[in-house]
Amino acid sequence: MAEGLDIDAMLQRFKDRAVAVKNRNLPPVAGPERTKFIEQAQLDFQDFAIVADATASLDDGILTLRIDLRPPADQDG
């Protein structure tokens, strides 16, 4: 499986999913269901965006995603 894996394409799909979640229309729900839908959309966006920003490498069949969660000011040092 690792031989045919296009890591850049995979990360692009996560970027596309993050955009899709962000632009998703709200279904016609109200009350607690609406709140739950919005909260889930925020978590979905966060998860997809985090993976999309990863630096990926494939070494000896092991896919490694490096994700820097430090604040932008701390990433240079």
Q: What is the pTM of this model?
A: 0.77
Helix residue spans in the chain (DSSP H)? 7-22, 31-52
Number of domains in the chain: 1
Q: What is the residue whose two structure tokens read 């994700």?
A: 67
Question: CA of 21: how far to CAs of 41, 55, 63, in Å?
Answer: 6, 22, 25
pLDDT of residue 34: 92
Q: Are 2 and 10 in contact (CB under 8 A)?
A: no
- Whether 20 has a pLDDT exceeding 90, the answer reads yes
Q: Are 39 and 21 in contact (CB under 8 A)?
A: no
For the segment 7-28, the average pLDDT, to the nearest whole number, is: 94
Instruction: Read off the pLDDT of residues 27-58 as tens digits, 9 standing for 90 and up.
Output: 888 999 999 999 999 999 999 999 999 999 99
pLDDT of residue 77: 55
The boundaries of the domain holding residue 46 are 2-74
